[in-house]
Amino acid sequence: MNKSARARLPFSDASMAVRSEKHLRAATRAAGVALWSWNVDTDAITMDESAYDLWEVAKSEREITFEILSKNIHPADLERVRSAFAATRAIVGAYEIDFRILSGHDIRWISARGQGDDADNCRPDHVWDFPGRHPTQAGRGS
């Protein structure tokens, strides 16, 4: 792009990236979505702010693993979720699981959806939180 054409653009690439990131954060907050990414080789999990809040992990915690998050998974669901997450190590493609977590005295249903990526062994994930009810009931007002 020549200099004069670039001067007519209202935003730089950097400012567009910042605006896009702000819009993505606003949309995920409005939708009740938390985002995280799990490296299956290192077991390292990176999360957005909503995921820190959802999982009740201190924002100062920098070495997040499945074991840290599993402390909040409902005991009746823990082995099923542990098995499902272990199975995702071999999956390239979409995966999903619904399970409960304990949040104080509340039970929250989590609907986790993700996509396995063979290139970097990373499993980007997004989560919907349905406080107190199963995800299939969330749209029914029950």
Neighbour tally for 115: CB within 10 Å:
14
**Is residue 21 one of the residues assigned to a domain?**
no
**Is residue 1 one of the residues assigned to a domain?**
no
What's the one-letter identity of residue 91?
I
Q: What is the pLDDT of residue 80?
A: 95
**Is residue 94 one of the residues assigned to a domain?**
yes
Q: What share of the chain is helix, strand, coil (3-state, %, to 5)?
A: 40, 30, 30
- Nearest to residue 31, comparing CAs of 47, 50, 16? 50
**Is residue 62 one of the residues assigned to a domain?**
yes
**Is residue 27 one of the residues assigned to a domain?**
no
Tell me the residue range of the domain where 131 lies: 34-140
* Residues in Cβ contact with 84 at an 8 Å cutoff, skipping those fewer than 6 apart: 95, 97
The structural domain count of the chain equals 1
Q: Which two structure tokens, joined as six digits, stand for 117?
A: 């990526």
Q: What is the pTM of this model?
A: 0.69
**Is residue 118 one of the residues assigned to a domain?**
yes
Q: Which two structure tokens, joined as six digits, stand for 73?
A: 């998974």
Q: What is the pLDDT of residue 24?
A: 73
**Is residue 22 one of the residues assigned to a domain?**
no
Sign, CA torsion 58/30/23/94: positive
Per-residue model confidence as pLDDT tens for the chain (142 residues): 555 454 555 556 666 666 777 777 777 777 777 888 888 778 888 888 888 988 899 999 889 998 999 999 999 999 999 998 888 777 777 778 899 999 888 888 888 887 776 655 555 555 665 555 566 555 444 4
**Is residue 4 one of the residues assigned to a domain?**
no
Sign, CA torsion 52/85/33/99: negative
CB 66 within 8 A of CB 43: yes
